[in-house]
Structure 1
């Protein structure tokens, strides 16, 4: 298998175990495997920096427990501080479902609007369901986002949290996404825009917006059969003011 580095996290890398968590009804066989891997991983020995190497095949439903799932290919580099479970549906937005949850005020209203428009465009044009959660643990909906967003194998969840690992951006990748986007792409986006020296200089808001723009350009190009937009060099000159590729 082609092993590639990838930063994995999300709300429930916070979970030391799923024993206290509610049962999840995502309804896919991948979930059962994900939960088993998650239980073994989150026993208080999870690496906060995660020198993870995840095979293409192991990129199943990484969000079975709202994340923290690193399946067969994971290597834990060091012990991490144990964190308490989070499951707070009271922190979910009221009203209609929104693909962006900003529980910390990380983005401005105009940025929120742009990100939501990009997310909707991505889903309409490619079928990839991007979901973005901006949080500062423990003020987060946690496990509640699984049912709220209907996370499945076509879902990518981007979690932006400046406190958890030093890297702002962490991804959970649905099993079907690897069929569309190169497996190592998510690690490159995280390494580019989520790196501490980047987001501390440019701002966490800019990092999130640029990451979404990059994802939109990449997945659109894949859908059109255009080469190069998901390559490493494609991220080098992307600015917040850049418009995603027009269909």
Structure 2
């Protein structure tokens, strides 16, 4: 254990899972569920289908992994990463629909949907767009219950959730590049994803222990997060996730799901 990590708070590890459709699969759900403590399950709008959702919920429940609804714009063709203008009332209904669909399978597996996290373009839009952020929160409330909202610290989404009385959980990204203002570098840029495994592990430990990361411009950016996202759709995702978890534990940082 390092001196810096002696009093480190626990960190949750989340990953996007169930991101397949029909016979097409993208994420190694079974293996990633041996590493993460929270599973962001695709709910059918950017990826995922009933069979996949059911299977991931069953695996997560059996392994004690928390289940979260990974809600998205209706964009299967673009994997939820294309900018879309959806009327707020429609978006609220679609968010609630996705949560409700996943809840059926979570409950059948003996668990429940424990939180909500937007995906892709919706995640990025809700960082700055007040109207879309409010629509996501309205959808969460429409689905029933005060589900925590997982998202970027300081985002419009978190502000809207807090106003609505919903718990918020701040997250950081182990393998995504940051701008100097604490937002994520757009995936359209070549430097949006950190691909060096050792760098990803070092960043993860630094984020968990010191709550900071270096931006693409070389600035130190404060990022106080309770959950760390590990992308499941990158090459070698399982191996990298295991290295990140091992690195955190070797540094004396507890790994546990958020309350």
TM-score, length of structure 1 as denominator length: 0.25
